[in-house]
Amino acid sequence: MKRTGIAICDSNEILASPVCVLFESSFKKCGSYVAQKAISLGAEMIIVGLPVNMDGSKGESAKRCEDFAKFLEEISFLPVKLFDERQTTMLAHTYLNNTNTRGQKRKDIVDAVSAVILLEDYLKYKANN
């Protein structure tokens, strides 16, 4: 709702890298920026994290992400897939603990790290299915 991490992968779909964190709470402004960034980077698809609950149910945040994905698809003309993002933020915090990243720097990059983890998880899933 406040920060959106953006990551991209290489053309061989092996390595995911952080791009940036967007600090924007406006649905339309955020979507427009993500779509423009994806197009400018030559993306062929956009993956949006779907924050499902641990029991697999969907709450209000998941509904917002589904709406966001539809909006992105409409304005970018790229395929948009939703992918389960459970535990990506927790894992990002673990990685940042291991690198002793603290304070404002941590807050500024945790969503980019989460985006990389989400994209890596999607790429593994895609390679195995």
Q: Per residue in 49-77, is it b (16+ CB within 10 Å) or e — as a string?
A: bbbbeeeeeeeeebeebeebbebbbeebe
Q: How far apart are CA 89 and CA 96, in angstroms?
A: 10
Average pLDDT over residues 23-46: 95
Domain containing residue 91: CATH number:
3.30.420.140
Domain total in the chain: 1
CB atoms within 10 A of CB 105: 10
Average pLDDT over residues 31-55: 95
Q: Give the domain range for residue 71.
A: 3-128
The pLDDT, as a whole number, for residue 1 is 73
pLDDT tens-digit profile of 71-98? 999 999 999 999 999 989 899 989 899 9
- pTM, to two decimals: 0.91
Average pLDDT over the chain, rounded to whole? 94
